[in-house]
């Protein structure tokens, strides 16, 4: 599979990468990140598209082979990457929010840090 993210206002870093699929993709709505807390905090996640009227799109998690780690879980979204906000934040998705941020993709070591839509 190929993941392509164009450099944009959501995430400055673009990406063009090829991954070897190791299982099916599933829609994901929350992810636990450890950047701000050693115990991890849960965040909402969405894909970000190039449609200015409807910028959100589904985010997906998919097992992939990782040359350094064996198996990894790749989280990816739209052509403009992923967007995150704290779980308690009920505001609409927006590039203008100080509590939201974008990333091109995530690579996780375990599914325990994901909550799927289904």
The predicted-structure confidence for 57-99, as pLDDT tens digits, reads as follows 999 999 999 777 689 999 999 999 999 999 999 999 999 999 9
pLDDT at residue 49 greater than cutoff 80 = yes
Q: What is the pTM of this model?
A: 0.93
Cβ atoms of residues 34 and 40 within 8 Å:
yes
How many domains, in total, are found in the chain? 1
Cβ atoms of residues 63 and 23 within 8 Å:
yes
- Mention every residue, 6+ apart, whose C-beta is less than 8 A from residue 36: none
Report pLDDT digits (tens) over 25-45: 999 999 999 988 888 999 999
Percent of the chain, pLDDT > 70? 99
In angstroms, the first-to-last Cα distance of the chain is 22
Instruction: Give me the domain span that covers residue 62.
Output: 2-116
């Amino acid at each position: 599979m190929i993941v392509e993210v164009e450099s944009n206002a959501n995430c400055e870093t673009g990406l063009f990468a090829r991954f070897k699929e190791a299982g099916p993709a599933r829609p994901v709505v929350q992810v636990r990140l450890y950047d701000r807390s050693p115990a991890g905090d849960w965040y909402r996640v969405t894909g970000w598209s190039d449609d200015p009227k409807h910028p959100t799109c589904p985010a997906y998690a998919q097992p992939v082979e990782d040359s350094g780690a064996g198996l990894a879980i790749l989280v990816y979204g739209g052509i403009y990457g992923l967007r995150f906000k704290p779980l308690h934040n009920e505001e609409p998705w927006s590039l203008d929010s100080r509590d939201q941020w974008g990333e091109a993709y995530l690579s996780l070591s375990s599914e325990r840090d994901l909550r799927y839509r289904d």
